[in-house]
Amino acid sequence: MSRPPVAPNRELGQHFLVDENLLGVIGRLAELDQADVVLEIGPGLGVLTVYLADRVARVHAVEIDRGLQPHLQARLAGHDNVSVVYGDALNVDLVAFDPAPDKLVANLPYQIATPIVVESLDRLPTVQLWCVMVQREVADRFVAQPSTKAYGAVSVLLQLSAERTGFHPVSPEVFRPRPNVDSALVAFRRLSLPRDYARIKEVVGAAFAHRRKTLANSLSTAGLVRRDDVFRALEQIERPPNVRAEELAPPEFAALTAALA
């Protein structure tokens, strides 16, 4: 594996993918098709971007580091089906891409991995499949089960909205510079969003804002509902009044939100 042609930006937490042997795994988990329109966040030096461009109809790439522009342009020369937008993916209007993406495939920058995935669940309704490389700790949160340390708001929202289709541990050796943590590829396919998803999202966020508190105390502290209303809703879903957020399975949060309504 060769050294990257440009020094990584430590403030942006850049870790460039340099081992092209991993690309085949990404392609398989992403179920790439010639008709696909792919959104890539953080193309870096374009290793994955070129791989995608050779296999799909269109790639929309969003890169925050303008210093990488000459390297990306050189690597993407001749690939007319790639458009690169320079900006912070959390602020770029991802909905405006035309044609709209049906897959999100990316080596996600660690610090924005969770918000990008969570916000794309409802903000990017055309995306039907995700294949993302994230820090192993984040990947574990995506797939965590109730009553475990990793289980939290992102676990609930993701599992209510999508089903996991693939999981592949990734060694630090495939990146330069070598990160101090392990990574993982996670793939998941969209399900239908639950009814009143926006309210569910609000309830879930408030429920896990104070993990040590009971669910009733967390929701009342957030000002969403009165504690007595939470008690009545918990009774409807057959849960005790002192239950904590981490004990409820994702479908129970949908049921709880309906009961609170």
Q: What is the CATH number for 212?
A: 1.10.8.100
Q: What is the mean pLDDT of the chain?
A: 92
pLDDT class of 6 with cuts at 50, 70, 90: low
Residue 180 sits in the same domain as residue 222: no
Identify any residues that bridge with 40 across adjacent strands, giving them in sequence order. 61
CB 192 within 8 A of CB 253: no
**Residue 145 to residue 260: CA distance in whole angstroms:** 24
**Phi, psi dihedral angles at 91 (to 5 degrees):** -115, -20
Please give the helix or strand (H or E) that residue 133 lies within, else none. Answer: strand 129-135
Residue 135 sits in the same domain as residue 119: yes
39-57 confidence digits (pLDDT tens): 999 998 899 999 999 999 9
Over residues 228-255, the mean pLDDT reads: 97
Pairing between β-strand 162-170 and β-strand 183-190 as defined by DSSP bridges: antiparallel
Residue 82 sits in the same domain as residue 141: yes
Domain finish residue from 175, 190, 205: 190
When computed from its CA atoms, the radius of gyration of the chain, rounded to whole angstroms, is 20
Please give the helix or strand (H or E) that residue 176 lies within, else none. Answer: strand 175-176
Evaluate if residue 99 carries a pLDDT over 60.
yes
Residue 172 sits in the same domain as residue 246: no
Residue 184 sits in the same domain as residue 205: no
Residue 117 sits in the same domain as residue 209: no
118-147 confidence digits (pLDDT tens): 999 999 999 999 999 999 999 999 999 999
Range with the poorest average pLDDT among 106-115, 169-178, 189-198, 247-256: 169-178
Percent of the chain with pLDDT over 70: 92
Give the model's pLDDT for residue 54: 98
Over residues 21-37, the mean pLDDT reads: 96
Residue 252 sits in the same domain as residue 173: no
